[in-house]
Amino acid sequence: MHLYRDLIKPQLFRRDPEEIHHLTIAGLSRAGQLPGLPGLARELSLPRNPALHQTLWGRDFASPLGLAAGLDKNAEAVPAFGAMGFGFLEVGTITPRAQSGNERPRLFRLPEDDALINRMGFNNDGVEAVRERLEGSSRLCPVWVNIGKNKVTPNEQAALDYRRCVAALYPVADAFAVNVSSPNTPGLRALQAAGDLRALVHEIMEEAELQRVRTTRRRPPVLVKLAPDLHPADFEASVDAVLQAGADGLIISNTTLSREGLRSSYRGESGGLSGRPLRERSTELVRLGFQQARGRVPVVGVGGIFSAEDAFEKILAGASLVEVYSGLIYGGPTLPAEIARGLSRLLEREGFRSVGEAVGARSM
């Protein structure tokens, strides 16, 4: 019997998902403040296997598995999530000014499909509050900050919002993830058009360089997160735009608007779908992005990871790192450790000496 999946999850799933989300984050925030507990829990959860270790952008990752953006939107539980054994955490999406997001209900569980639908709308506390929180948080692994524009900001001025995020959060971000692919902010996905995306990323890179000179702090890598719903030609053009603008990586992919094959009664709800139904599509896009990038930048694979086998599939397709979100909701806090142990076994079974050796091994 699995404590979380068999006993705790059925009780949690009887209550409103957003209410449970807030209660969980609050509980994790308090647990993360207990002296010594996060570090001890991480020692117990993350296997000491050099094969899982990678150095990317000059930074160390003890595991290729990260927490995707959207779960710890306001960086409230960084120590607790680090204690679970993640190799890195992505907080956000953060916008320059605090905003409440879309009206509730805006988060739906689809247990028949192992999926979630959300239309949160970048609800967050804003850059100043998140910067202060991150300045006071202990870190057990790198913390990436996912950034976006405020809902009221027109696309013509979007670059200013992204630049404000970079300027404010530069001292506390181990990487920036540029969100232009959420379906829940009107017009945001239009920024993925190749010309607009190239100009936007260029401005973000310019701001990051200005902050590097001003602070003398090593520049954090800048990655761009793309949607899974792009037409193949548009996806290729967007990847080219990201590379031409000088970004340091790709995150593939965000949530989808597709509802193909869903069984849940919530399948008609608007918003972005995440979870198991996204696995095959996101893995295929990881493969295409890896082939197109040709090793120039790392690819981060996101979508439908519930097991070590799911994570390994994306690594073989070309993902240097992978992220989980819905899988954690369904699998519970022991999932990162389970995936890390499973990846260790899979690497050994398939004859790979390290994660890096397996990246893209079956990308063709």
Residues with active-site annotation? 182
Distance (Å, rounded) from C-alpha 281 to C-alpha 111?
20
Distance from C-alpha of 202 to C-alpha of 180, rounded to nearest angstrom: 14
For residues 175 and 320, what is the distance between their CA atoms, to the nearest angstrom?
Answer: 15
Nearby residues of 206 by Cβ (< 8 Å), 6 or more positions away: none
- E strands present in the chain: 54-56, 59-61, 65-67, 88-94, 107-110, 115-118, 143-147, 175-179, 222-226, 249-252, 272-275, 299-302, 321-324
Strands (E), 51-132: 54-56, 59-61, 65-67, 88-94, 107-110, 115-118
Q: Which residues face 321 on adjacent strands?
A: 300
Residue carrying structure tokens 């690497």: 347
Cβ contact 290:213 at 8 Å: no
User: 330: which 2 tokens?
Assistant: 């369904």
> Which tokens sit at 258?
């597709």
Helices and strands (H, E) in the chain, number of each type: 13, 13
Residue type, 302: V
